[in-house]
C-alpha cells in the first residue's frame, strides 16, 4: 500500500464512521498494524493543517475522529438550521463533575455526594450522550455504574479524562505543581 492510499483509506474510514474510531479498529479495517495507523493519522492531521481545511482530526483517548473546526460552527449551524442546544444546568454540571472525577459511579453515589435526588439529571446526561452505562456492581440489586463518554471529552475539549483540572483540596484551593511550591518555600534574598 502506498502512503497516499493509506492516508486516503484512513480518511475515508474516519469520515464514514462519524464517531470516534479506536486505533485498533482502524488498523484492522485498513489491514495495517496500529503503529502504521498512528503514522497515517499524523499525516492526515498535517494535510488538514497545511491546507487550512475546515476539518481536523481529534484524538479522544485511544480513538480518533474527523470533526469540523470550531471556528466554522456558526456557518454550519446556519446551513443546517441547527437550533442552539440549551446549556447544561448547574445540577447537570455538578453530576458530570462527580462522575468524571470518580468514574465509574452509581446514581446512589452521585446522590450521596450532591445530597439531592439526581435521577432525572443522570437520565438527561445519558440521553445527551455525555455519560453512559459502565456496567453493574456485584451488589444486591446490581446497580448500574456510569462513566463519561467520548462526547463528553469532545464537548469539554479534552483528549483524555486525565486532562481534567486537578481537584481542589479541602480548603477549596488548587494544588500547585511541585516546582512552583519549591520556589515558594525558598526564602527571599
SS3 of residue 161 by DSSP: helix
| pLDDT score, position 157 | 85
C-alpha R_g of the chain: 21
Nearest alpha-carbon partner for 54 in 39, 70, 77, 65: 70
C-alpha cell at 132: 453512559
Q: What is the pLDDT of residues 86-136, one digit of tens each?
A: 788 899 999 999 999 999 999 999 999 999 998 889 999 998 889 999 989
CA nearest neighbour of 61 among 147, 123, 166: 147
Residue 84's pLDDT is what? 56
pLDDT band at 184 (very low <50, low <70, confident <90, very high): very low
Amino acid at each position: 500500500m502506498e502512503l497516499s492510499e493509506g492516508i486516503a483509506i484512513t480518511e475515508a474510514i474516519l469520515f464514514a464512521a462519524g464517531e470516534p474510531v479506536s486505533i485498533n479498529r482502524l488498523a484492522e479495517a485498513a489491514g495495517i498494524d496500529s503503529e502504521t495507523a498512528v503514522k497515517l493519522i499524523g499525516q492526515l492531521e498535517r494535510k488538514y493543517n497545511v491546507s487550512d481545511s475546515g476539518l481536523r482530526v481529534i484524538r479522544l483517548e485511544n480513538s480518533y475522529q474527523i470533526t469540523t473546526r470550531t471556528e466554522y460552527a456558526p456557518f454550519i449551524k446556519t446551513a443546517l438550521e441547527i437550533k442552539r442546544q440549551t446549556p447544561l444546568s448547574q445540577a447537570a454540571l455538578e453530576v458530570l463533575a462527580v462522575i468524571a472525577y470518580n468514574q465509574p459511579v452509581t446514581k446512589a453515589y452521585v446522590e450521596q455526594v450532591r445530597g439531592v435526588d439526581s435521577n432525572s439529571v443522570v437520565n438527561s446526561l445519558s440521553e445527551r450522550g455525555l455519560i453512559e452505562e459502565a456496567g453493574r456492581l456485584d451488589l444486591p440489586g446490581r446497580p448500574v455504574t456510569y462513566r463519561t463518554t467520548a462526547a463528553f471529552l469532545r464537548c469539554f475539549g479534552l483528549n483524555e479524562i486525565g486532562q481534567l483540572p486537578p481537584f481542589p483540596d479541602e480548603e477549596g484551593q488548587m494544588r500547585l505543581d511541585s516546582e512552583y511550591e519549591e520556589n515558594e518555600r525558598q526564602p527571599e534574598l
